Structure 1
């Protein structure tokens, strides 16, 4: 997952899918802001809304379903009833049977992100409850690919720099050996 500073700098444009959520009176806690537990419900809701609408998921009948195996949230600002929350979704990692989502919560009309969470699904076979042997399935994968972002666009450059550094160090050592 990204650093706290990177997460705090997230903007709506960093995400591929947005869904509005009108906060409810009972979302607030005694401190007059949305309770931290509500964020988990919102993450689950935006993810499953996308899976149903764009990935062919039919929760009661699909042969595979997403089992939540990890969730984490970083909070940066409050949001409270009656604000409208904008839930933003992207995929940071797509495996054979697992997916790592990143979900952000923005308050409508405010640029700064309120919270960013990581949520991991492992797609399991409905009959066995075990990770699906055939993976997540083609329709699901195609839908999730549309949300995928390159989380480390500089990864190739970093690897190249490391390799170049190793070559340079080897050349220096080789030069020393000749002296």
Structure 2
């Protein structure tokens, strides 16, 4: 994981994939900003959108599934309804059967990052719920490799 001082300086250009999200009234909590649980829902959405559209993953029929084994989020400043945010995605580490994602949340019209979070997926065989001998599929590895950042940019 990157140091908090580093993630505070993230910019959209630090990421290789983005998904637009328009906040909803129900995303706000009683403090009039987006509830922390919504951030995790959005992290899951941007990652799975990428996996389905760019890694040939078809969750209902795939023989492997990604299990979340770790998640985190650092909040820099609030956002809420009404707003449009860009959920920016990159891969910080790609292992044999695991992948570490980082997601930056940017509000339209604001350069500074609102939140940076992520999670670790371990891909396992659906039947055994254990990593397969090959780890993840070639299509998955190839697609994730397209958004893998260089170690010097971590």
TM-score (norm 1): 0.84
CA distance in 2, matches of 1:140, 1:56: 7
1:15-164 equivalences under 5 Å are 15-152=15-152
Q: If you compute each CA radius of gyration, which structure gives the higher value, 1 or 2?
A: 1
> Secondary structure of the equivalent of 2:136?
coil
CA distance in 2, matches of 1:55, 1:83: 29
Which fold has the larger relative contact order, with Cα–Cα distance below 8 Å and residues 6 or more apart in sequence? 2
- The structure in which a higher percent of residues are helix is 1
- What is the deviation of 1:151? 3.0
- What is the deviation of 1:153? 5.6
> Secondary structure of the equivalent of 1:132?
coil
Q: CA RMSD in A?
A: 1.1
Unpaired segments ≥5 residues, structure 2: none
CA distance in 1, matches of 2:28, 2:153: 38
Per-residue CA deviation, residues 105-128 of structure 1 (Å, 9 max, x unaligned), is 000110000000121000010111
CA distance in 2, matches of 1:132, 1:109: 44
CA distance in 2, matches of 1:35, 1:153: 30
Per-residue CA deviation, residues 132-160 of structure 1 (Å, 9 max, x unaligned), is 22110100000000000013369xxxxxx
Aligned length: 154
TM-score (norm 2): 0.97
Which runs of structure 1 show a deviation greater than 4 angstroms over 4 or more consecutive aligned residues?
none
> Secondary structure of the equivalent of 2:151?
coil
> Secondary structure of the equivalent of 1:60?
coil
